[in-house]
Chains A and B, each alone.
Chain A
């Protein structure tokens, strides 16, 4: 018989394609959502979209299963059983909102700081922050403090922009990419597309990571570094390049503050600060005149060897300090290699490759441009060395300075905003000075005096009360972590439970699984959330939580405001906070309801606006008491942060019709976005596309488009004056003084030049007793616990063994199927082990957030995620062990407060196989039941 049958070669997959923005992770790719008869049938990448250009990762395609997940919350809930039990009753939205108002209104009228509002993986921070500001509480932040604030803060204080959202490698011209600590996550599709482009062009990739998986698996050279030593490795590269004179002197002189004159007299009260003119402008020595001149004056050619004696005080260019610091033999490869876990030859080889790529074959684009001093350049020369880094170097207590060291390396090579190197994405470049300072003055019944999160320039900007105690519940912007521009969400529950610095009334969380994988010290966090005082009242009296899914956190709230999935709501990915720009274009995007919710749920942002109107918050309430905005879509279109500037830049209303950038609200704006595939991109003219911080054409373009109000050229801050101001205070200068116990630490860690110090925990835990580093990565095919209830993704990553390197595998005489006990100074877990050879000799790792609490996420209590899956969080504490000084020190970066997840040290023991990963937690009641035996 013949098998050739008639098959349908041209079936119609859908009757409609709706283009919106993905939210399966933080990367915000464009997606084509196919619908047939109104039902979701297929999701693919949008080819026109600037972020993913048609491709889509596993998570994105699996969005179908997210939209039908049985873990979706269905209706507002009020807790009826004890907190943590997961017993709730469904209530109406009217009841839910009235309850929330009854809790929040008295707080606003009497003590707005009693509301702590923290918003997790929020992509609407310019809105949620504005809401919190109108409410008047100083206690607002999103999740950056436990994610990558070190990277963001070091980038902005040093370069005026940071990796990922605000900058990217020049994939088209780079010849060498140095990739640090990217734990298979941000940036998802753009990095993969970029790596493919580098490979296609024959460029080389060096991966610096203790684990050789994912991107590091395809790197041409792997530097299997010991966690927490990246800064030392980088400064050794700096040492070698300085010693060989392989630095870009023109770049350093023109575009960095290496030539800025520093007060170099140790007896001067301004020691280490810039010499400034009467108008406060830092001075350099002009090579033409040999005289002091403002750094930005027309025609000035700053001298890297500038010296000036004025009023009896010697001033020298910062370049002197840079040379003296890093030529020190303590940074020689032989001196650092053992500590870094790599060979001295490999350090030298990477340094030589950097020098070769940067100086042997510079990229020169034939584009004339004019810099901010009026100097005309005929071409755009570039150093084709690109760098990208993420949490791996960020999540350490030395992460801020490590990121600063990386930016120093880039700057010495002339590899910032030059062709082939690292490029900013609008609204960046933007220096720390151009950001707001922190605002924190709460007045009952009034809005806060400005945005919460900002960039302190010195001790005067700290959020301290007159008695020196912290204003904020998370202790952001205090001497313990002065530069904490993302706040410290990971300290909120712990501080609130301890009543330190004060007790709060209502904890309001959005999209943050703090009772599980987003907290260190998970068991204790659950205890804090359920702790009661002597009267039987909860120590944190009220908890409101909004999430789309039945996550572990749900059981620990009193009132649940169920959110929609990302396919059922409006969102805007705005240039006011974290847009989707690329180096060549300013771009923003929307989400819109491509399907209608089939449950009694509401988009969180619309709910916040409703709450705002019920509370009578300014900006959300009309004079007659009615709501200003019907919903979030109405806000997106009609809200103006200042005249002509709204959440979206595309299709605004100008004096002569539609315009982009500055302009008034346009009632049809969202229709235009939808017609354009859900995004808008405004291209930067070619003559403005590089050297952006210093390029007049870019600065003028950014003003015209509304990103900035006036040109704001600046210098890369290799020497950081804000850090020096804190250090000076610690040395006893100035009116605002740190507490005695912090002086030494501030002096050594807030160094104005990049410095490496061992992770703080090394001083509290004996490295010999805990000889193994333990870290996590996020699988590319799953993101946090969100993927956990996804029917397809959980088949790819349903279990997470602890991967051990050969050295420890053999030392413990393990074989397949064995289990290990992982012991830290804080606790222990017993988990399945697996061997991996492509690992740093003393590092173990596992996938993040695969482990689930029984009863959560609509999974069977016997699901592998709940029986074998585990969290490393149980062995990490938010505080370092006590060491007898009467103090408890945070397990965090002393500059930014970033949670030092990756400083974890453990010891390993072979264990008899338990029936489940240990510890085992009892099940929580599920508010959605358990998922069906078949896929919806």
Chain B
């Protein structure tokens, strides 16, 4: 087994805005595309043109309906990948030490050379964020695009995870959550970012920004009512108002 580091030098992670995520799956496929040719074994697909296509993905979008006590039902899109937990339960359970958390930036990785594909880590992860690649027989998970973020072969502006770079709704943000001045920390502070399932005690690094209130305009009715104060009820009265209004122009 591997011990988790006592502390990491930085705490890199994602901040995902559930207020703007439209559930388009752009992040899912950009991730698949990058990691199919990136870190470790390709992300295989079984039966890709057959009756039961199934492949490995490091990031998936789930959708949930929420029906509030008052007001119409809402629809929340929820992208989920490894949350790079500070107390990652997937790491200590690994019998070969293949799963580890990097000291320099806190990224949780799998050393595929050492992975025996036993699946204990996936069992230990309360988020279901790891997927076994059936072709390679090794455990796959989000690497936070460790092969992009330090990659000096890429333009500096592209040194961010593929899912963040591609997100059309700008719902994904990447940065150092241990630095209170970082843009991601500021976002979390401003928008009340939350941990996923904090009761699990995993101390996830990734944060979610909750959706803003929806359908809450009824509370403005006093403010809004004057905007509809009638100037006229009949065409004749309206034309009189028009005369007066035009006179003022």
Partners in one complex: yes
- Minimum CB–CB distance from B17 to chain A (whole Å) comes to 8
> Is A365 close to B, CB under 8 A?
no
A243-B20 in contact (CB<8A): no
A217-B22 in contact (CB<8A): yes
A860-B49 in contact (CB<8A): yes
- Chain B, residue nearest A13 (CB): B37
B73-A327 in contact (CB<8A): no
Selected from B20, B48, B73, the residue in CB contact (under 8 A) with A931 is B48
Size bin of chain B's contact surface: 35 or more
What CA separation (Å) do A791 and B50 show in the bound complex? 10
Residues of A within 8 A of B162 (CB): 44
Selected from B28, B47, B232, the residue in CB contact (under 8 A) with A796 is B28
- Minimum CB–CB distance from B195 to chain A (whole Å) comes to 22
A220-B212 in contact (CB<8A): yes
Residues of B within 8 A of A36 (CB): 37
A58-B28 in contact (CB<8A): yes
Known: A61-B33, A199-B20, A838-B75. A933 touches B47 (CB 8 A): yes
B38-A13 in contact (CB<8A): yes
> Is A589 close to B, CB under 8 A?
no
> Is B118 close to A, CB under 8 A?
no
> Is B23 close to A, CB under 8 A?
yes
> Is A356 close to B, CB under 8 A?
yes
Residues of A within 8 A of B153 (CB): 10-13
Residues of A within 8 A of B67 (CB): 837
Residues of B within 8 A of A217 (CB): 22-23, 74-77
Residues of A within 8 A of B19 (CB): 199, 218
- Chain A, residue nearest B52 (CB): A864
> Is A43 close to B, CB under 8 A?
yes
Per-residue interface assignment for chain A, residues 37 to 72, with 1 indicating a CB less than 8 Å from any chain B CB and 0 otherwise? 000011111010000101111111110100000100
Known: A7-B146, A55-B168, A862-B50. A244 touches B229 (CB 8 A): yes
Per-residue interface assignment for chain A, residues 777 to 803, with 1 indicating a CB less than 8 Å from any chain B CB and 0 otherwise? 000110000000101111110100000
Q: From residue 128 to 173 of chain B, which have CB atoms closer than 8 A to chain A?
A: 146-147, 150-154, 157, 162, 165-171
Residues of A within 8 A of B29 (CB): 58-59, 61-62, 781, 792-793, 796
A838-B65 in contact (CB<8A): yes
A323-B235 in contact (CB<8A): yes
Residues of B within 8 A of A1 (CB): 2, 97
Residues of A within 8 A of B103 (CB): 4
> Is A370 close to B, CB under 8 A?
no
> Is A304 close to B, CB under 8 A?
yes
B23-A792 in contact (CB<8A): no
Which of B177-185, B200-208, B216-224 lies at the binding interface? B216-224
Q: From residue 333 to 353 of chain A, which have CB atoms closer than 8 A to chain B?
A: 345, 348-349, 351-353
- Minimum CB–CB distance from A37 to chain B (whole Å) comes to 12
B49-A9 in contact (CB<8A): no
**Which of A11, A200, A932: most chain B Cβ within 10 A?**
A11
Selected from A54, A348, A864, the residue in CB contact (under 8 A) with B228 is A348
What CA separation (Å) do A216 and B171 show in the bound complex? 16
A54-B22 in contact (CB<8A): no
Per-residue interface assignment for chain B, residues 92 to 120, with 1 indicating a CB less than 8 Å from any chain A CB and 0 otherwise? 00100111101100000101011000000
What CA separation (Å) do A305 and B29 show in the bound complex? 58
Residues of A within 8 A of B147 (CB): 7-11
Residues of B within 8 A of A193 (CB): 168-170
A323-B23 in contact (CB<8A): no
> Is A195 close to B, CB under 8 A?
yes
Q: From residue 149 to 194 of chain A, which have CB atoms closer than 8 A to chain B?
A: 188-189, 192-193
What CA separation (Å) do A47 and B156 show in the bound complex? 13
B50-A860 in contact (CB<8A): yes
> Is A224 close to B, CB under 8 A?
yes
A352-B225 in contact (CB<8A): yes
A212-B74 in contact (CB<8A): yes
Known: A864-B51, A932-B49. A323 touches B74 (CB 8 A): no
Known: A12-B153, A62-B29, A212-B75. A305 touches B224 (CB 8 A): no
Residues of B within 8 A of A327 (CB): 232-235, 238
B167-A55 in contact (CB<8A): yes
A4-B50 in contact (CB<8A): no
A249-B168 in contact (CB<8A): no
B239-A305 in contact (CB<8A): yes
A192-B228 in contact (CB<8A): no
What CA separation (Å) do A3 and B1 show in the bound complex? 9
Residues of B within 8 A of A55 (CB): 26, 165-168, 170
Selected from A52, A199, A218, A249, the residue in CB contact (under 8 A) with B245 is A249
A219-B214 in contact (CB<8A): yes
> Is B249 close to A, CB under 8 A?
yes
> Is A93 close to B, CB under 8 A?
no
- Chain B, residue nearest A838 (CB): B73
- Chain B, residue nearest A5 (CB): B111
- Minimum CB–CB distance from A556 to chain B (whole Å) comes to 22
- Minimum CB–CB distance from B92 to chain A (whole Å) comes to 11
> Is A94 close to B, CB under 8 A?
no
> Is A355 close to B, CB under 8 A?
yes
B23-A214 in contact (CB<8A): yes
B241-A245 in contact (CB<8A): yes
Residues of A within 8 A of B114 (CB): 3, 5
What CA separation (Å) do A47 and B214 show in the bound complex? 32
B111-A3 in contact (CB<8A): yes
Residues of A within 8 A of B169 (CB): 192-193, 195-196, 218
- Chain B, residue nearest A241 (CB): B228
B228-A781 in contact (CB<8A): no
What CA separation (Å) do A113 and B146 show in the bound complex? 61
B168-A56 in contact (CB<8A): yes
What CA separation (Å) do A9 and B29 show in the bound complex? 22
- Minimum CB–CB distance from A721 to chain B (whole Å) comes to 22
Selected from A189, A860, A931, the residue in CB contact (under 8 A) with B168 is A189
> Is A213 close to B, CB under 8 A?
yes
What CA separation (Å) do A604 and B10 show in the bound complex? 54
- Chain A, residue nearest B77 (CB): A217
- Minimum CB–CB distance from B158 to chain A (whole Å) comes to 8
Known: A57-B24, A217-B75. A3 touches B30 (CB 8 A): no
- Minimum CB–CB distance from B31 to chain A (whole Å) comes to 9
Residues of A within 8 A of B198 (CB): none
> Is A303 close to B, CB under 8 A?
yes
Per-residue interface assignment for chain B, residues 48 to 77, with 1 indicating a CB less than 8 Å from any chain A CB and 0 otherwise? 111111110100000101010000111111
A349-B224 in contact (CB<8A): yes
Residues of A within 8 A of B75 (CB): 212-213, 216-217, 838
What CA separation (Å) do A3 and B109 show in the bound complex? 10
- Chain B, residue nearest A345 (CB): B218
> Is A221 close to B, CB under 8 A?
yes
B215-A222 in contact (CB<8A): yes
- Minimum CB–CB distance from A771 to chain B (whole Å) comes to 21
> Is B32 close to A, CB under 8 A?
yes
> Is A292 close to B, CB under 8 A?
no
A930-B49 in contact (CB<8A): yes
Q: List 28 A-B residue pairs with CB atoms under 8 Å apart, sorted by A's residue number.
A: A1-B2, A1-B97, A3-B114, A4-B102, A7-B39, A10-B147, A56-B26, A58-B26, A61-B26, A61-B29, A70-B49, A188-B168, A189-B168, A197-B170, A214-B23, A217-B22, A217-B74, A218-B211, A323-B235, A349-B217, A349-B218, A353-B224, A356-B227, A780-B22, A858-B49, A859-B49, A863-B51, A935-B48
- Known A57-B25, A70-B49, A838-B73; 6 more pairs at CB < 8 Å: A2-B97, A9-B150, A327-B235, A349-B221, A838-B72, A863-B50
A: residues with CB less than 8 A from B are 1-5, 7-13, 36, 41-45, 47, 52, 54-62, 64, 70, 188-189, 192-193, 195-197, 199-200, 212-222, 224, 240, 242-246, 249-250, 253, 287, 303-305, 319-320, 323-324, 327, 345, 348-349, 351-353, 355-356, 359-360, 780-781, 789, 791-796, 798, 836-839, 858-860, 862-864, 867, 930-935
B: residues with CB less than 8 A from A are 2, 19-26, 28-30, 32-34, 37-39, 44-45, 47-55, 57, 63, 65, 67, 72-77, 94, 97-100, 102-103, 109, 111, 113-114, 146-147, 150-154, 157, 162, 165-171, 211-212, 214-218, 220-221, 223-225, 227-235, 238-239, 241-243, 245-246, 249
